[in-house]
């Protein structure tokens, strides 16, 4: 990761972060649609991509309570990671994050997560958490989290039914 630099988010980064988010999560939203079927997906996930884009916008506002960091490789933004710190419980959480698919599997994600863990330690956190999906499209994220030592996991399932 020596050619990757992680730095705090700057307002001018947001368009690049939105492009990375859209590209990285495209297969995730497709997987969701395939898993539940088009009839349920048309209702359940109709606005999911727009909601996620709005969520990223909110994270990048100073008053969001989360910190957003950007990964650059050779001056190009290739990923981002949001973290939150709960000083009362001493639990830090890695939130919305993504690596552009063109840079996936090259250590960018693991580098961002290690950076996030260091920030949590610096701020007195005792535990770090991260949430991810259990479907096949989230397998690369699960591998990256496990690679840097996350585990054990408490699995959660969402079950769907047409009415």
Beta bridge partners of 22: none
Using one digit for the tens of pLDDT, what is the confidence trace for 61-120?
A: 876 678 999 999 999 999 999 999 999 999 999 999 999 999 998 999 999 999 999 999
Q: Which residues contact 17 (CB under 8 A, 6 or more apart)?
A: 9, 56, 60, 68, 70, 77, 80
Taking alpha carbons only, the member of 110, 102, 47 closest to residue 78 is 102
Using one digit for the tens of pLDDT, what is the confidence trace for 45-77?
A: 999 999 999 999 999 987 667 899 999 999 999
Domain 4-147 class, CATH top level: alpha beta
- For residue 159, CA distances in Å to 36, 40, 68, 71, 128 come to 9, 11, 32, 35, 27
């Amino acid at each position: 990761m020596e050619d990757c630099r992680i730095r705090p988010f700057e307002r001018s980064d947001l368009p690049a972060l939105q492009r990375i988010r859209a590209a990285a999560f495209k297969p995730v939203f497709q997987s969701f649609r395939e898993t539940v079927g088009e009839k349920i997906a048309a209702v359940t996930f109709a606005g999911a991509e727009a909601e996620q884009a709005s969520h990223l916008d909110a994270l990048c506002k100073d008053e969001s309570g989360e910190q957003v960091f950007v990964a650059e490789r050779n001056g190009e933004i290739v990923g981002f990671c949001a973290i939150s710190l709960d000083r009362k419980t001493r639990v830090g959480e890695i939130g919305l994050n993504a690596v552009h698919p063109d840079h996936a599997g090259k250590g960018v994600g693991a580098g961002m997560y290690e950076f996030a863990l260091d920030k949590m330690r610096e701020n007195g956190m005792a535990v770090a958490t991260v949430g991810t999906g259990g479907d096949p499209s989230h397998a690369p994220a699960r591998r990256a989290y496990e690679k840097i030592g996350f585990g054990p996991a408490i699995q959660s399932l969402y079950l769907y039914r047409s009415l």
